């Protein structure tokens, strides 16, 4: 029987035949396709013909295409529905893929061909995109160690392989901690919780095979529990378990792994001629240097901390008024902040959620994409990676643009958080390829037969990830290496954070925020109160984020710390971190930074992009129409369709005229007047 991962896919849009693929197919396919990719690379490096753009750069772009196709299927399964077999495959694949990447980067014949083209670049008659890809290809080889020799070359290869192993181990340890902990609740323990939290706890208990309701470490469940449970003892237990992920001792403890990762990253940066890993990593980002990152973060930290400290005084007074003595603790903050939101804005999340149905918020995102970019979303009935997932064909003017796949509910084998991935990216080289884009979230599963309801924050997450999806769907370049979200890390969050703005437009909420039972639109006074509360608790939200970003930066500056937890504590002490606020991501569960190096020394990038997204949305506001077609066309042309075809700053400046300052960000967060 033919391995489906090695066969041609006679399926709609050549989607993976998930119903025919088993875990046993991956090992064989990986071996075959890795060998095939190596053969393709060798043919490029050993080509007796003189190097030209087609036989070297274009050939490199297309090499390993079938391996990439198979890995797209595997990652979709391993990230969203992990099991022991898939975890074992991850541990096997990671170092071998790292070795393959090193073999490519360290191939002297291949690099010689690239260098020859680079020296002759002015005589190659390249268009702007080709010139950009040549530069990026050469730079990527240099940053991967192509010029290293002898022991340094061998050591660099070993470091990259070890980092691949450690990143996989970090991720799997975190998943094990999240999957292994739950807090059983009695009916008495449910007292004071809104119906939607009770329903989510019961659904989580059913999914975990428990006898009754449970709280798990899924953010979509534990955060509302911390917001609404009047049981301070249970809040404390849940919060401490949530923040102890990766630091509980035993086989799943990530602290030693984080320390080794930091040391290896620093050593790698030194081998490549950089002072430290932060300098190496930021060299190719918009920020350019650690100092510029720190300047931005501290400009936000100072007013955010002032706002948070003022809020803490008020929350602690509320707690004391209820007869609870002592200091406001981290497990108290969300509970009293929710009470304050109701007091200040007459806004109760339990009353709000029935208006934020998951299906209606999906419709809202699709409608905004249609009004802005002319996209239509047609449901598809095709086999997918999990029964929870659903798919749509994306069309524009009858033309196929992409397949969009969404997987929204939390489950025990699913990596935490929310993300966007492309299992197939757009390109024109070698024939037009349209993308297959995945949005993955971890919303609480509703009770059987009931519609899923979202918090306002979760609805923002849906819009955020869909903004990433639009970046992939609208990509219009020739080379896959610069397609879609293949841009500077501190630019990639611009489309996602920008798209969040459309959720809060009154005309969008009036149309799509309809009551789950009556179908009535959200009352106008509730809508106004919701919008007035968008900066509620922003001091807390900004402090927990900026603290994490500054710790990430400091962990990667200078010599790697022997004890990352001590370095973390040192940074927080220097900042004067408020007692009742924890980091959004502490080191042992900082998956953004330690599962791979995508966001390492780069967690700041959400805020860097936020400086631009506030300014970019202002471009629409200045026209008087949030769906202004000319502004939307410019956004698509210069940013969403352009991928990494030019430097991020140049792309943004073409759209907006210039780069913005931090003022719009502070205003948007309600921190402009804080001191």
Residue by residue, DSSP assigns 71-110 as HHHHHHHHHHS--HHHHHHHHHHHHHHHHHHHHHHT-HHH
Instruction: Summarize pLDDT for 543-586 with one digit per residue, the tens.
Output: 999 999 999 999 999 999 999 999 999 999 999 999 999 999 99
Here the tokens at position 629 are 């077609």
pLDDT at 675 over 60: no
Average confidence (pLDDT) over 517-545? 95
Indicate the CATH number for domain 12-105+107-143. Answer: 1.20.1050.40
Residue whose pair of structure tokens reads 């809202």 in the numeric block: 364
Residue 664: predicted pLDDT: 84
Between CA 463 and CA 322 the distance in angstroms is 38
In angstroms, the Cα distances linking 168 to 444, 594, 654 are 26, 9, 39
Q: What does the pLDDT look like over 293-331, one tens digit per residue?
A: 999 999 999 999 999 999 999 999 999 999 999 999 999
Give residue 384's Cα distance to chain centre.
21
For residues 388 and 443, give the distance between their C-alpha atoms in angstroms, rounded to a whole number.
Answer: 12
335: confidence class by pLDDT, cuts 50, 70, 90: very high
Q: Where in the chain is the domain with CATH 1.20.1050.40?
A: 12-105+107-143
The C-alpha angle with vertex 97 and arms to 94 and 100, in degrees rounded to 5, equals 150
Q: Quick count: other Cβ atoms within 10 Å of Cβ 431? A: 7
Q: Classify 390 as helix, strand or coil.
A: strand
**Nearest-angstrom CA–CA distance, 69 and 71:** 6
Tokens of 187: 């009916």
Beta pairing class for 436-443 and 399-409: parallel
Percent of the chain whose pLDDT exceeds 90: 95
Q: What is the pLDDT at residue 547? A: 98
Per DSSP, 538 falls in state H
Question: What is the Cα–Cα distance from 48 to 612, expressed in whole angstroms?
Answer: 48
Residues in the chain: 675
Let me know if 465 is a catalytic residue. Answer: yes
**Rounded average pLDDT over 190-209:** 93
Question: Of 99, 92, 90, whose CA–CA distance to 144 is shortest?
Answer: 99
- pLDDT of 349 over the 90 cut: no
Pick the catalytic residue from 129, 316, 465, 557: 465
Mean pLDDT computed over every residue of the chain? 96
Question: CA 576 to CA 137: how far, in whole Å?
Answer: 43
Helix (H) or strand (E) holding 219: helix 219-228
| C-alpha to C-alpha distance for 154 and 150, rounded to whole angstroms | 7
Give the HSE-up count for residue 262: Cα atoms under 13 Å, Cβ half-sphere: 28
Whether residue 1 is predicted with pLDDT greater than 80 in this model: the reply is no
Q: What is the pLDDT of residues 475-502, one digit of tens each?
A: 999 999 999 999 999 999 999 999 999 9
- How many Å is the Cα radius of gyration of the chain? 25
3-state helix, strand, coil in the chain (%, to 5): 60, 5, 35
- Kindly report, residue by residue over 416-433, the tens digit of the pLDDT: 999 999 999 999 999 999
The phi, psi pair for 355, rounded to 5°, reads -90, -10
Q: How far apart are CA 80 and CA 388, in angstroms?
A: 10
pLDDT digits 0-9 by tens, 76-121 = 999 999 999 999 999 999 999 999 999 999 999 999 999 999 999 9
């Amino acid at each position: 029987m033919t391995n489906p991962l090695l066969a041609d896919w006679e399926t709609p849009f050549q989607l993976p035949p998930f119903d025919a693929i088993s875990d046993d197919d991956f090992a064989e396919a990986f071996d075959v396709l890795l060998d095939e990719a190596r053969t393709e690379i060798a043919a490029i490096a050993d080509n007796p013909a003189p190097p030209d753009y087609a036989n070297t750069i274009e050939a490199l772009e297309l090499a390993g295409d079938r391996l990439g196709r198979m890995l797209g299927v595997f990652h979709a399964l391993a990230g969203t529905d992990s099991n022991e077999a898939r975890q074992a495959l991850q541990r096997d694949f990671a170092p071998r893929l790292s070795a393959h990447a090193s073999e490519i980067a360290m191939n002297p014949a291949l690099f010689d061909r690239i260098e020859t083209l680079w020296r002759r670049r002015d005589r190659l008659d390249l268009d702007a995109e080709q010139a950009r890809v040549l530069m990026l290809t050469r730079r990527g080889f240099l940053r991967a160690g192509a010029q290293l020799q002898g022991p340094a070359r061998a050591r660099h290869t070993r470091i990259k392989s070890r980092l691949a192993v450690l990143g996989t181990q970090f991720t799997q340890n975190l998943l094990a901690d999240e999957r292994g902990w739950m807090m059983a609740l009695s009916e008495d323990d449910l007292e004071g919780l809104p119906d939607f939290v009770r329903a989510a706890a019961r659904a989580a208990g059913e999914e975990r095979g428990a006898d009754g309701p449970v709280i798990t470490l899924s953010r979509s469940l534990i955060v509302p529990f911390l917001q609404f449970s009047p049981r301070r003892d249970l809040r404390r237990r849940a919060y401490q378990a949530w923040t102890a992920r990766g630091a509980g001792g035993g086989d799943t403890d990530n602290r030693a792994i984080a320390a080794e990762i930091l040391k290896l990253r620093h050593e790698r940066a030194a081998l490549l001629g950089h002072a430290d890993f932060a300098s190496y990593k930021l060299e190719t980002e918009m920020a350019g240097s650690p100092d510029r990152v720190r300047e931005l973060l501290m400009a936000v930290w100072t007013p955010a901390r002032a706002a948070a400290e003022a809020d803490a005084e008020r929350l602690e007074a509320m707690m004391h008024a209820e007869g609870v003595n002592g200091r406001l603790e981290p497990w108290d903050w969300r509970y009293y902040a929710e009470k304050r939101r109701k007091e200040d804005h007459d806004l109760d999340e339990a009353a709000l959620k029935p208006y934020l149905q998951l299906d209606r918020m999906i419709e809202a995102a699709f409608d905004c994409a249609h009004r802005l970019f002319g996209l239509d979303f047609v449901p598809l009935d095709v086999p997918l990676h999990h029964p929870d997932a659903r798919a749509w064909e994306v069309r524009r003017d009858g033309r196929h643009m992409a397949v969009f796949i969404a997987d929204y509910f939390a489950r025990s084998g699913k990596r935490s958080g929310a993300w966007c991935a492309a299992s197939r990216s757009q390109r024109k080289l070698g024939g037009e390829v349209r993308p297959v884009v995945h949005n993955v979230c971890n919303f609480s599963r509703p009770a059987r037969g009931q519609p899923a309801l979202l918090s306002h924050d979760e609805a923002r997450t849906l819009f955020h990830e869909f903004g990433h999806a639009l970046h992939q769907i609208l990509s219009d370049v020739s080379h896959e290496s610069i397609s879609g979200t293949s841009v500077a890390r501190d630019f990639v969050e611009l489309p996602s954070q920008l798209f969040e703005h459309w959720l809060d437009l009154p005309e969008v909420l009036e149309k799509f925020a309809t009551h789950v039972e009556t179908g009535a639109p959200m009352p106008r006074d509730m809508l106004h109160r919701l919008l007035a509360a968008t900066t509620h608790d922003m001091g807390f939200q900004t402090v927990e984020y900026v603290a994490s970003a500054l710790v990430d930066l400091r962990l990667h500056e200078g010599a790697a710390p022997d004890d990352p937890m001590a370095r973390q504590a040192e940074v927080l002490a220097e900042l004067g971190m408020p007692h009742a606020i924890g980091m959004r991501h502490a080191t042992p569960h900082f998956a953004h930074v330690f599962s791979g190096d995508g966001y390492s020394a780069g967690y700041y990038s959400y805020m860097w992009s936020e400086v631009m997204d506030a300014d970019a949305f202002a471009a629409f506001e200045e026209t008087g129409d949030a769906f202004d077609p000319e502004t939307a066309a410019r956004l698509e042309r210069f940013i969403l369709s352009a991928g990494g075809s030019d430097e991020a700053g140049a792309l943004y400046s073409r759209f907006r005229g210039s780069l913005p300052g931090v003022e719009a960000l502070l205003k948007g967060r309600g921190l402009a007047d804080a001191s």
